[in-house]
Amino acid sequence: MNKSHTSWLRVLSVLQAVTLGLVVMLHFGPDESGPDSASNARPESTITWLQDDASSRVSQMIETERLKSALREVLNEELETFNDGESASGAAIQVSHAPPGGDDLHAGREAAAVSNAIVRQAISAGVWTAEDTETLMPHLGTLSEAQRLELIDQFYSAINRQELNVEDVPPL
Amino acid sequence: MKPMLYAVSILAVVVPLAGQADGRHIDGNVYVSPDSYMQGNMSVRYNAATAGDPYVYATGYAGSTVGFHGRDAEGDYFSCYVTTSSSLYDAAVDIKNNLQDGSRLYVTKSAGSNYCTNVFLGNYSYYQQ
Q: Over 90: is that where the pLDDT of A7 sits? A: no
Specify whether the CB–CB gap between A135 and A92 falls below 8 A: yes
Q: Give pLDDT tens digits for B82-116.
A: 999 999 999 999 999 999 999 999 999 999 999 99
Contacts of B67 in chain A (CB under 8 A): 152, 156, 172
Region of residue B56 (phi > 0: left; psi between -120 and 50: alpha; otherwise: beta): beta
Contacts of A160 in chain B (CB under 8 A): 34-35, 77-80, 109, 114
Q: Give pLDDT tens digits for B20-34.
A: 568 899 999 999 999
Which stretches does DSSP call E strand in A24-144? 127-128
Q: Nearest-CA residue of chain A relative to B113? A: A157
The sign of the torsion formed by the CA atoms of A75, A79, A85, A90 equals: positive
| pLDDT band, residue A169 (cuts 50/70/90) | confident
Contact B64 A145 (CB under 8 A): yes
| pLDDT band, residue A107 (cuts 50/70/90) | confident
Nearest to A162 among B34, B65, B69 (CB): B34
Specify whether the CB–CB gap between B79 and B114 falls below 8 A: yes
Nearest to B77 among A148, A153, A162 (CB): A162
Give residue A119's pLDDT. 97
Structure pTM? Answer: 0.60
Q: Give pLDDT tens digits for A123-159.
A: 999 999 999 999 999 999 999 999 999 999 999 999 9
Contacts of A127 in chain B (CB under 8 A): none
- Write phi, then psi, for A26 (nearest 5 degrees): -70, -40
Q: Give dist(CA B63, CA A148) in Å, integer.
A: 13
Which stretches does DSSP call E strand in B1-129? 30-33, 37-41, 55-60, 66-71, 77-82, 103-109, 116-123
